[in-house]
Amino acid sequence: MYSSFNAIPVSDITVTFAVTVHPRALIKYLQNERGFTVQALESGICYIKGDTFPVQILESKLLPPDENLFLHNLRSNLSAEDIARTVDAYSIIKHLELKNVYLNRLMQANPNTFKEAAHMSNIAAQLLYEISQEEGGGWVKEMIEMREKERIARKMLLRGDLIEDVVEMTDLPYETVAGLV
């Protein structure tokens, strides 16, 4: 349908499946039942020969992250560092919008880790803040306010203010302020 509506030759279309777990059963089925040839030419990429369309299977966690950051991190077991790096890299190449399918999926698949990443990446924090504004506030707004208080506390500590004075001015717990030293 895509080919006919957009006047694109079928030979220019590739069907891609992105998976996080090695699709052993699928590959066995394609080879034994359908008679297709499966070739693993690159790390994390299998090419399927013999169907109407060229088909490839991308095993995201096996893709080299420095060459395929966005595909490599399209999964649900990311660390906060992975998310911060991905969001920061994405913002360099594309304007971040709230209605972004990729970032939306990243957040849905890793909600708690995304909250952690917001402490590491100003861009992730800003994105979460904008989403919270759209949703009416909530935990994201509180997290952004906490980050701002921590920023002010660091500034006060660098200026030489006593920890007790910083605690009083920012309403941060003593342990949090002491950890900023």
Domain ranges of the chain: 2-62, 69-179
Per-residue confidence band for 171, with pLDDT thresholds at 50, 70 and 90: very high
**Do 27 and 42 touch, CB atoms closer than 8 A?**
no
CATH 1.20.140 given to domain 2-62: no
Per-residue confidence band for 125, with pLDDT thresholds at 50, 70 and 90: confident
d(CA 51, CA 35): 9
Q: Specify the pLDDT at position 1.
A: 67
Does the pLDDT of residue 121 top 70, yes or no? yes
Higher pLDDT, 172 or 101: 172
Average pLDDT of span 136-149: 66
Which of 45-49, 77-81, 132-136, 167-171 is predicted with the least confidence, judged by mean pLDDT? Answer: 132-136
